[in-house]
Amino acid sequence: MKQFLSFLLAAIAGGLIALGGVSLLDNESDISSSDIPVQQVSYINKAPIPGGNMIDFTKAAQMANPVVVHITATAGKANASNNSKSDDPFRFFFGEEQPMSGSGSGVIYTADGYIVTNSHVVEFADDLEVILYDNRQFKAKVIGINKKTDLAIIKIEANDLPTLEFADSDKAQVGEWTLAVGNPFDLMSTVTAGIISAKGRSLRLLKDRDAIESFIQTDAAVNPGNSGGALIDANGRLLGINTAIASQTGVFQGYSFAIPINLVKRIADDIIEYGSYKRAFLGVNIYPLDSETAQSLGIKISQGVVIDRIEDNGSAQYAGLYPKDVIVKVDEKEIRGVPDLAEAIGLSKVGDVIDVTINRKGQTLTIPVKMRPEPDN
């Protein structure tokens, strides 16, 4: 029987863990407490890396631990009910008016108390408590949420907090070592290691046609409670925000996914300044190029994104893009598929002029596109 992986979010107030689908994964704290099952493992003598150099993660871990916080989020009766009505199979037994509590992680974004986390960690919360690495506790308030990227900014009243240098996630390479830092199962300040397995992954997690998904995939162990925690590189720089795992059981089984820091910065800075993400709008319906489509279009390229339809009053319409144009590059970023284009446009700002390189009937053209605001904005 064919089995499917589920892509799971470590949520504050989720519901059913469904194999073969997209679902939220609880890390609820109002369930009766029990010991986490622990097994002893034997010592493994790891072979040295060719060339005789072992990678030392101790400095990176020491830099990251003080920057990652524990978040406890409590939803009042109304929010708990709203979050559970549609997907909670146990509401028949327990009713729909129970407060819900859960936990996740966050990363200190600025020294004056702004913290970045996942929107699914805090979106239903009426009360937020943040515990720092030094065990100081603060009440927090939500500054802004963007569900289309699963990012949120919360704020505590504190100063002189530690922060991390930002990596350039565009320059991260498959095969690079990374560390995931967070609070899985309420195990504070847990650090795991793995390599970047892939970039530009789209999992259709966010259930929105305009969602921006271009995840960094790693094999660093991530579990419930890690959501909103840090993915850092071997130099201790912030590379991404951990968001999801691929699992058949609800716990880590090999792959985890993080939002790249370049996108995080773009959205976080907007939320801090304006209270929301001011998204630029290209205004196209697209699909990935495949060999059959390339043949039907009479073009000799194998990667790109095909414009299916141009939306009215979008940036693409005003710039002179047309259906059947194949987008292959935005500025200097190669566009291999839909996630690459979604991230590139997501990084742009309203008023920016970006160079969109297309293949039109076999001819390569570069068209300047002035980015217009999303219609709702």
Residues forming the active site:
120, 150, 227
112 by Cβ neighbours in 10 Å (0-12 / 13-18 / 19+) ranks as middle
E strand or H helix that includes residue 232: strand 230-233
Whole-angstrom distance, CA of residue 209 vs CA of residue 232: 29
Whole-angstrom distance, CA of residue 315 vs CA of residue 327: 14
Whole-angstrom distance, CA of residue 306 vs CA of residue 34: 52
Write the DSSP symbol of residue 28: B
Pairing type for strands 326-330 and 215-218 reads: unpaired
Give alpha helix (H) positions in 74-224: 77-84, 91-94, 119-122
Q: How many residues make up the chain in this entry?
A: 377
CA neighbor of 104 nearest in space, from 38, 162, 187, 164? 187
Q: What type of residue sits at position 347?
A: L
Q: Is 67 helix (H, G, I), strand (E, B) or coil?
A: helix
Give alpha helix (H) positions in 111-244: 119-122
Q: CB–CB of 119/143 below 8 Å?
A: no
